């Protein structure tokens, strides 16, 4: 069942039909180089986790193009079996140190769904503020510290700090703002926060503590607009793809923590039906499962660009205005511009957290209790890098019988390979080093979280 | 401690780095490498999460290898290697041995590297069952039957606990080792953190199950001060008496299975927790 292990011919055909090739400004197409060419990156840097890339080209034709996840498997779905529903969110948080919220809250939602718990509006709001914190912290880490150096030809943000310290300091302060939101509500730490639980929180944060974040959030709105404008001056490779975008959608606001699953190809389903429409399969070269849609076994896109394309209308006026000023339309199909979309979402997240904090009143009840029962529950949130799905079957004591978790990077892995295929095809006239860098940049567009998906990257390029 | 650690780092970073002397100092910068094995990346992220101190810290050291943050790589030997994650594959074991050979000082950061991590739960099960539970094609997966801490395979010079580590402790450890002194890291139990902070004992006053009496201090008293019993993410304290606490948990009405699972989480493979959980195997 090699649903996602795209055969080169299939990928090629799809890339040709789907990708709109824009005229290349800097490089003229040359005759294909005859012979074998291999591009291999065995340790991909500036990504979260361990991955590798292997590309083999024969007589100018791409024969193999794999984005491999080599992170050692950790078997979360297996050892969750038999654990109490109350323990699950804290355990799944350990799947990822960058986006623990996606695992805490996805699992909490699923358990609440299973037990029939309805959480209160203040708990909902506190979760959304925390998640805004995670978007800010994760987006700024990726955009400014990990992705921006690619566009500047630098090894890392520290080299950027040597020439433009103010920018790095601004990014660090903004990232800290995200972490501070997580700490204030999460019980004192941003990585694996301890204050969240099934049904709500152990202790509600005080109005005073949250109001203490307001000035910094006001600064954060301005700072994220500044960074967005700076990144807007970068040169982006010409590449567009007709993506099948998949994201959460909520009628009331730009979806983060809750909503239905929608796509730009007419899908609109509740979260519980997600795996009836999308699937994961296991390929030989990866410890992550590959996601695809069941109907056509084709890849789909999750993450900032998918969210932006589907829910643009629900962004704030200021976020839309920032997008316009940095040259983004209402639809972004250039994956390299995800860095800009992340900053637009950061503007939004700062504004949204500020709005919710202004309206915050301490609730009387920190959490809503539930009674265990034999049941099944589903949860999904928008991790910074895309939708993260959870489903659990529980026994009558609330112990896990079956756990299924789909991380955003596993879902995106086949689409990453499609993008790579298209990018390599258009860039064969680059020398190996430049092509390798272009490939790495293509992968970083996705802010891949490899620890999550293996439950990232080595590039191997073979030119024959 | 954050403040203290911050001061030390700042103190260790004299702004003398202007004149020709600076060039000499720059050459003398210790080479620090950050390595990852099976883990969630949260502990190495803690270094990037030191937003206020990061530029000062990297001003004092040479980042020789830190894949998550930089493409630049400098060959060993390294003065300090920070190691995150546990050993779960044969390949990683070979990699670890090579890293040890190239490192003057090796510090494990976090519960995975120090105690095997949450993935050490597989040490209590048959690994083939685990592979089959997650993957359609078990034949594609190469993994050791256990998840083990770094110290089980190579000598370790210093351990930082926690799931995740406390970034203030990380800064203290780096700054102490750079200044050739012993890191000032607490060796007591979480109970002492409650006493220091004036947190009312959750177990005595409210009957909330808490691993505080047997758990290593260092988190900053997070859970108890948030009305939550400690769940042991810093692993066993030096003189942990698991069975005695387990008796107390029985009195609070916890079932055998609940007690076993309470001790069997993020530091399940650490001896004191492992032995207690095995006493309650049902």
Domain ranges, ordered by start, for chain B: 28-178, 190-279
Q: Flag if A46 and B69 touch (Cβ within 8 Å).
A: yes
Q: Which of A257, A181, A163 is nearest to A220 (CA)?
A: A181
B40 contacts in chain A (CB < 8 Å):
94-97, 100, 451
Token pair for B74: 């400098």
Q: What residues 111-130 of chain B have any CB closer than 8 A to a CB of chain A? A: 117-119, 121-122, 125, 129-130
Of B70, B163, B266, the CB nearest to A155: B70
Smallest Cα distance from A179 to chain B, Å? 8
List the B31-36 sheet strands across, edge first.
B62-66, B31-36, B78-84, B103-109, B158-160
Q: Is the peptide bond before B99 cis (omega within 30 degrees of 0)?
A: no
B134 band by pLDDT with thresholds 50, 70 and 90? low
How remote is the C-alpha of A394 from its chain's centroid? 28
CA B234/CA B248 separation, integer angstroms: 21
Question: What residues of chain A lie within 8 A of the CB of B223, using their CB?
Answer: 187, 194, 202
How many structural domains comprise chain A?
Answer: 1
Could you tell me the pLDDT band of residue B18, with boundaries at 50, 70 and 90?
very low
CATH code for the domain of A397:
1.10.645.10
Average pLDDT, chain B: 87
Summarised one tens digit per residue, pLDDT across range A373-402 is: 999 999 999 999 999 999 999 999 999 999
Distance CA B282, CA B269 (A): 18
Q: Is residue A439 part of a domain?
A: no
pLDDT at A60 over 50: yes
> Min CA distance, A75 vs chain B (Å)?
6
Q: Which of A143, A433, A105 is nearest to A303 (CA)?
A: A143
Q: Look at B41 and A78 and tell me if their CB atoms are within 8 Å.
A: no
Pairing relationship of beta strands A386-394 and A400-406 according to DSSP bridges = antiparallel
Q: Give the contacts of B22 (CB within 8 A, at least 6 positions apart).
A: B16
| Token reading at B181 | 């002194």
Per-residue CA distances from A134 to A354, B45, B81 (Å): 14, 13, 29
Chain A contact present for B89, CB below 8 A: yes
> Is A220 a domain residue?
yes
Residue A442 lies in a domain: no
Residue A437 lies in a domain: no
In a domain, A443, yes or no: no
**C-alpha distance from A34 to closest chain B C-alpha (Å):** 30
Average pLDDT over residues B144-160: 95
User: Which residues from A are below 8 Å from B194, CB to CB?
Assistant: none
B16 band by pLDDT with thresholds 50, 70 and 90? very low
Number of Cβ pairs < 8 A linking chain A and chain B: 181
Can you tell me whether residue A104 is helix, strand or coil? helix
A341 domain-assigned: yes
Query: B28-178, what's its fold?
Result: Rossmann fold (3.40.50)
Instruction: Encode pLDDT of B158-172 as tens digits.
Output: 999 999 999 999 999
Q: What are the chain B neighbours of A187 within 8 Å (beta carbons)?
A: 222-223, 226, 228
Backbone angles phi, psi at B114, to 5 degrees: -85, -30
Q: Which of A184-198, A276-290, A300-314, B234-248 has the lowest mean pLDDT?
A: A276-290
**A313-335 tens-digit pLDDT:** 999 999 999 999 999 999 999 99
Rounded to a whole number, what is the distance in Å from the CA of B6 to chain A's nearest CA?
A: 16
Residues B23-37 as b or e (16 or more Cβ within 10 Å = b):
eeeeeebbbbbbbbb
**Looking at CA atoms only, how far is residue A243 from chain B in angstroms?**
28
Residue A421 predicted with pLDDT over 50: yes
Instruction: Sort out which chain A residues have CB atoms less than 8 A from B48's CB and list them.
Output: 141, 145
Q: Are B40 and A73 a contacting pair at CB < 8 A?
A: no
Report which DSSP code applies to A142: I
Q: Does B183 touch chain A (CB under 8 A)?
A: no
Residue among A336, A416, A362, A344 nearest A67 (CA): A416
pLDDT digits (tens, 9 = 90+) for A355-373: 999 999 999 999 999 999 9
> Residue B191 contacts by C-beta under 8 Å, 6 or more apart in sequence?
B201, B212, B213
Sequence-distant (6+) residues with CB within 8 A of A215 are none
Burial of B100 (0-12, 13-18, 19+ CB in 10 A): middle
- Our CA-based measurement puts residue A291 at a distance from the nearest CA of chain B, in whole angstroms, of 13
**Amino acid A289: pLDDT:** 64
Beta carbons within 8 Å of A163's beta carbon, 6+ residues apart: none
Q: Does B219 touch chain A (CB under 8 A)?
A: yes
A186, two tokens: 């999460």
Q: Can you name the residues that pair with A37 across neighbouring β-strands?
A: A57, A463
Per-residue model confidence (pLDDT) at position A341: 98
DSSP β-bridge partners for residue B63: B32
Partners of B163 on chain A (C-beta within 8 Å) are 94, 192
- DSSP labels for A85-133? TTTHHHHHHTT-SS-HHHHHHHHHHHHHHHHT----HHHHHHHHHHHHH
A256-308, pLDDT tens digit by residue? 999 999 999 999 999 999 999 998 776 666 656 667 777 778 899 999 999 99
Angle made by CA atoms B6, B85, A142, in degrees to the nearest 5: 65
Give the range of the structural domain holding residue A304, as residue numbers without chain letter.
8-24+74-429
ipTM value: 0.88
Query: Is A37 part of any domain?
Result: no
Q: Which residue is listed with tokens 């006053």? A: B205
Residue B260 has pLDDT above 80, yes or no: yes
Task: Report the residue from B55, B71, B129 with minimal CB separation from A161.
Answer: B55
Asked if the model's pLDDT at residue A18 lies above 50, the reply is no
Across the interface, which of B129, B223, B228 has its CB nearest the CB of A78?
B129
Confidence class of residue A43 from pLDDT cuts 50, 70 and 90?
A: low
Write down the pTM of the prediction.
0.89
From CA A192, how far away is CA A181, in angstroms rounded?
13
Q: What is the pLDDT of residues B83-128, one digit of tens each?
A: 999 999 999 999 999 999 999 999 999 999 999 999 999 898 876 6
* Per-residue pLDDT, A267: 94
């Amino acid at each position: 069942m090699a649903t996602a292990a795209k055969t080169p011919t299939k990928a090629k055909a799809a890339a040709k039909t789907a990708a709109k090739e824009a005229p290349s400004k800097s490089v003229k197409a040359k005759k294909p180089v005859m012979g074998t060419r291999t591009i291999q990156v065995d340790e991909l840097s500036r990504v979260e986790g361990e991955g590798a890339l292997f590309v083999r080209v024969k007589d100018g034709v791409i024969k193999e193009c794999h984005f491999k996840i080599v992170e050692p498997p950790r078997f979360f779905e297996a050892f969750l079996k038999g654990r109490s529903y109350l323990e699950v969110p804290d355990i799944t948080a350990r799947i990822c140190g960058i986006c623990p919220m996606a695992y805490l809250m996805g699992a909490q939602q699923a358990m609440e769904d299973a037990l029939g718990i309805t959480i209160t509006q203040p708990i909902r709001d506190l979760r959304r503020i925390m998640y805004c914190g995670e978007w800010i912290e994760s987006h700024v880490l990726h955009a400014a510290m990990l992705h921006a150096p690619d566009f500047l030809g630098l090894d890392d943000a520290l080299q950027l700090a040597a020439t433009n310290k103010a920018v790095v300091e601004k990014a660090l302060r903004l990232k800290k703002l995200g972490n501070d939101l997580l700490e204030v509500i999460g019980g004192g730490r941003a990585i694996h926060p301890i204050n969240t639980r099934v049904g709500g929180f152990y202790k509600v944060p005080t109005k005073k503590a949250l109001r203490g974040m307001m000035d910094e959030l006001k600064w954060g709105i301005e700072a994220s607009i500044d960074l967005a404008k700076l990144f807007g001056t970068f040169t982006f490779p010409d590449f567009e793809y007709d993506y099948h975008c998949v994201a959460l959608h909520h009628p009331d606001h730009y979806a983060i923590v809750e909503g239905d699953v929608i796509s730009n190809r007419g899908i609109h389903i509740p979260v519980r039906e997600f795996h009836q429409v999308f699937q994961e399969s296991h390929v030989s070269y990866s410890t992550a499962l590959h996601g695809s849609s069941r109907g056509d076994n084709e890849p789909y896109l999750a993450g900032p660009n998918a969210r932006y394309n589907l829910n643009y209308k629900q962004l704030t006026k200021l976020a839309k205005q920032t997008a316009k000023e940095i040259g983004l339309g209402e639809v972004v199909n250039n994956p390299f511009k995800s860095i800009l979309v992340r900053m637009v979402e950061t503007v939004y997240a700062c504004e949204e957290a500020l709005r919710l904090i202004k309206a915050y009143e301490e609730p009387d009840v920190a959490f809503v209790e539930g009674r265990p029962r034999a049941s099944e529950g589903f949860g999904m949130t928008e991790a910074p890098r895309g939708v993260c799905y959870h489903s659990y079957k529980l026994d009558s004591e609330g112990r896990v019988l079956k756990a299924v978790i789909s991380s955003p990077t596993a879902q995106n892995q086949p689409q990453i390979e499609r993008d790579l295929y298209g990018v390599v095809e258009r860039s064969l006239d680059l020398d190996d080093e430049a092509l390798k860098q272009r490939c790495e940049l293509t992968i970083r567009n996705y802010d891949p979280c490899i620890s999550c998906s293996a439950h990232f990257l080595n590039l191997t390029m073979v030119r024959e | 401690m954050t403040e203290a650690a911050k001061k030390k780092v700042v103190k260790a970073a004299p702004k003398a780095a202007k004149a020709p002397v600076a060039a000499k100092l720059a050459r003398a910068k210790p080479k620090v490498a950050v390595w990852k094995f099976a883990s969630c990346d949260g502990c190495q992220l803690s270094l990037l999460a030191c937003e206020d101190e990061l530029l000062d810290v990297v001003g004092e050291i040479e980042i020789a290898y830190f894949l998550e943050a930089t493409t630049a790589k400098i060959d060993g030997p390294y003065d300090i290697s920070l190691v995150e994650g546990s050993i779960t594959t044969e390949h990683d074991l070979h990699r670890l041995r090579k890293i040890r050979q190239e490192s003057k000082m090796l510090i494990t950061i976090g519960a995975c590297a120090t105690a095997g991590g949450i993935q050490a739960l597989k040490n209590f099960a048959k690994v083939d069952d685990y592979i089959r539970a997650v993957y359609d094609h078990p034949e594609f997966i190469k993994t050791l039957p256990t998840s083990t801490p770094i110290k089980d395979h190579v000598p370790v010079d210093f351990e930082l606990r926690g799931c995740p580590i406390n970034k203030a402790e990380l800064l203290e450890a780096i700054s102490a080792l750079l200044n050739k002194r012993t890191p000032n890291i607490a060796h007591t139990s979480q109970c002492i953190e409650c006493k220091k902070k004036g947190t009312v004992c959750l177990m005595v006053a409210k009957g909330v199950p808490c691993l505080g009496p047997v758990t290593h201090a260092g988190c900053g008293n997070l859970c108890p001060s948030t009305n939550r019993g400690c769940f042991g993410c810093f692993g066993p304290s030096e003189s942990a008496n698991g069975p005695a606490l387990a008796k107390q948990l029985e009195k609070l009405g916890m079932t055998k299975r609940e007690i076993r699972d309470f001790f069997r989480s993020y530091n399940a493979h650490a001896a004191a927790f492992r032995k207690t959980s095995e006493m309650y195997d049902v």
